[in-house]
Amino acid sequence: MNYINKQRFSIKFDEWYRTLSSVLFLPPSRSYVEIDGDEVRVQMGWAFRSCFPITAVASATETYEKPLSRGVHGFAGRWLVNGSGQGILTINLKPAQRGYLMGFPVRLQQLMLSMEEPAALVAALTNAS
C-alpha cells in the first residue's frame, strides 16, 4: 500500500439520515470512497463494501438525479449507496466488478454514490485511470 497517494472521500449524509444510520451502526465515519494507489475501496459501514482496480472505472460523472431512498439499494448490477439525495456521482465499471451487500456478493456495473465532494472524486478517478 502506498500511503502517500491514499485519498479518502466522505459519503454525504442528510442530517436526519445521519442520526438514523448511526443507530443502525452505519455511521458516516465508516462510509467513504478511498483511492489507494491503483485500488478503489467503497464502504458503507457493515452494509456494503467493494474493492476494485481504478482501471475498471470506465467513467465517473456527477449526475443531478435526486433519489428519495437512502442506504444501499440495487438490482442487476446497478447499485445506489447513499446517505443523501444530493451530490450524486455515477461510476460506470468495465468489466463488471464485485461488491458485497451485508456480506453477500453482488455484481457492480454502475455505482451511484452521494458524495460530500463529487467533483473532487471525479477528478481523482479520472486523473488516476
Total tally of structural domains belonging to the chain: 1
Residue in the structure block whose three cell numbers are 456480506: 103
Output the pLDDT for position 64.
Answer: 85
Q: Comparing C-alpha atoms, which of 50, 60, 47 is closest to residue 118?
A: 60
Grid cell at residue 58: 470506465
Q: What is the mean pLDDT of the chain?
A: 92
Output the pLDDT for position 5.
Answer: 76
- pTM of the full predicted structure? 0.90
Tell me the C-alpha distance between 77 and 58, whole Å.
15
pLDDT, tens digit, 9 for 90 and up, residues 37-54: 999 999 999 999 999 999
Give residue 91's domain range.
3-128
CATH code, domain carrying 92? 2.30.29
